[in-house]
Amino acid sequence: MKKVYLYPLTARNKSVVVNPYMGNLRDALNENFQVVNAKKPSTTGIFDILRYLGKVDVVYFNWSEELPSLHRGRIQGIFLLLLLQCLKHSSIKVIWTLHNKESHFEKNSFLKKKLFAQMLKRSDVIITHAKEGLGLIPDGKASFFTHHPVSNTYSLPEKRKEYFYEIIIWGNISPYKGISAFLKFLEERGLIRKYRILLAGKITTPDLAKELQAFSQKYDNLEIMDEFVETEKLIELIQSSRITLFTYHSESILSSGVLMDSLTYGATIVGPRVGAFKDLHELELIETYTDFNSLVAVVDPLLNSPEENHTRKLRMAEFMEANSWSQFSSTLLKLFGQ
């Protein structure tokens, strides 16, 4: 059984909201491999890998290009650049999942771009969860596209005939997600009172929180839940909303865990026509838009249409079965080799 070092697996305070992707990936890998750091999450960032370099067959990176944003980020980023140079002279295989076109955040952008370029160059295999990502990978580099895996479907409540909200936007509310720009667009077009909108998720910066709160004080049809929302409550809110909307800026986004979670929560999804959103639109699972002007033209017919048809629900069930985390584990077994 091959041994894999998985990055990042980080020891965190239990009060911190953690992206579930890494926990799901760890468990999926452990079906066919031994994740050597599975029970020993790092407290020292990327430097933790030094304990395992002589003991592993594969180093599997995720979001490694974001290291400069972390504590001691510049030092960690420089260390990773040196590590990649060393690994090319070893028998250890380097796997990298290309999650985004570039960093969502501007801090230490030069070092991030350098890391991004080196991950493209030095990785033995690059995985992407969006077909668009394949276009970023150099010719001749081993690459593989697979949809972002989905977790087991949840027990969903009965669909409502009437909805409390027309639109819900959920997940961590960060500047790169374009929510403020969307609200400004609606305001400028005189459309902001047209929809009952819920923002459900922790706002990540004080400036954005101030800006969004100003909108909610001005418009009583905009509600903000500035907090982490537990899954059971979130499903209830999504089921009470006609549309789950994504307003991401297209410059950086490729794939989205919040998008895939929304599928399992039974949401009717509208998102930008980029990356994984475009892929799912081609499978007729979600609706997409090219800009905010076209977004209104997509949203309004959905608000006035009957519920999703049976054919789409069948397609959704087939997609989830074909793209489970267990299936992803089998795919990785083929990629890593016996």
List the beta bridge partners of residue 93: 58
Whether the predicted pLDDT of 310 surpasses 80: no
CA dihedral sign, ordered 84, 85, 90, 91: positive
Task: Please give the residue that has the higher pLDDT: either 317 or 76.
Answer: 76
Long-range contacts of 22-26 (CB under 8 A, 24+ apart): 22/62, 24/149, 24/151, 24/325, 25/62, 25/325, 25/328
Task: Please give the residue that has the higher pLDDT: either 150 or 335.
Answer: 150
What residues does CATH 3.40.50.2000 cover in the chain? 3-149+323-336, 165-321
pLDDT digits (tens, 9 = 90+) for 174-211: 999 999 999 999 999 999 999 999 999 999 999 999 99
Quote the pLDDT of residue 15.
47
Q: Centre a 10 Å sphere on the Cβ of residue 162 and count the other Cβ atoms it contains.
A: 6
Mean of per-residue pLDDT scores for the chain: 91
Strands of 93-179, DSSP E: 93-98, 125-128, 142-145, 165-170
What are the structure tokens assigned to 214, written together? 């100003």
Give the pairing type, strands 142-145 and 34-35. unpaired
Quote the pLDDT of residue 312.
79
Quote the pLDDT of residue 12.
61
As a whole number, mean pLDDT of residues 257-264 equals: 93
Name the CATH topology of 165-321.
Rossmann fold (3.40.50)
3-state secondary structure of 238: helix
What span, in angstroms and rounded, lies between the C-alpha atoms of 58 and 21?
A: 19
Quote the pLDDT of residue 108.
77
Instruction: Tell me, rounded to whole angstroms, the distance of Cα 315 from its chain centroid.
Output: 22
How distant, in Å, are the alpha carbons of 58, 88, 94, 108, 123 from that of 85? 15, 6, 11, 21, 11
pLDDT digits (tens, 9 = 90+) for 275-299: 999 999 999 999 999 999 999 999 9
Residue ranges of alpha helices (H) inside the chain are 20-29, 73-87, 109-122, 131-134, 179-188, 206-218, 231-239, 257-264, 275-282, 292-303, 310-322, 325-336
Q: What is the DSSP code (8-state) at residue 272?
A: E
As a whole number, mean pLDDT of residues 14-43 equals: 86
Whether the predicted pLDDT of 334 surpasses 90: no
Share of the chain above pLDDT 70, in %: 93
Whether the predicted pLDDT of 305 surpasses 90: no
As a whole number, mean pLDDT of residues 21-38 equals: 95
As a whole number, mean pLDDT of residues 21-50 equals: 94
How distant, in Å, are the alpha carbons of 157, 165, 204, 305 from that of 309? 17, 21, 37, 10
Quote the pLDDT of residue 10.
84
Quote the pLDDT of residue 104.
80
| Phi and psi, residue 42, nearest 5° | -75, 145
As a whole number, mean pLDDT of residues 64-90 equals: 94
As a whole number, mean pLDDT of residues 44-49 equals: 95
Whether the predicted pLDDT of 251 surpasses 90: no
Name the CATH topology of 3-149+323-336.
Rossmann fold (3.40.50)
Among residues 124, 123, 100, which one has the least CA distance to residue 112? 100
3-state secondary structure of 64: helix
pLDDT digits (tens, 9 = 90+) for 94-148: 999 999 998 887 777 899 999 999 999 999 999 999 999 999 999 999 999 999 9
Whether the predicted pLDDT of 306 surpasses 70: no
Quote the pLDDT of residue 39.
92
Q: What angle do CA 273, 278, 283 make, to 5 degrees?
A: 140
Quote the pLDDT of residue 109.
86
Quote the pLDDT of residue 19.
74
What span, in angstroms and rounded, lies between the C-alpha atoms of 80 and 74?
A: 10
Confidence of residue 161 (pLDDT cuts 50, 70, 90): low
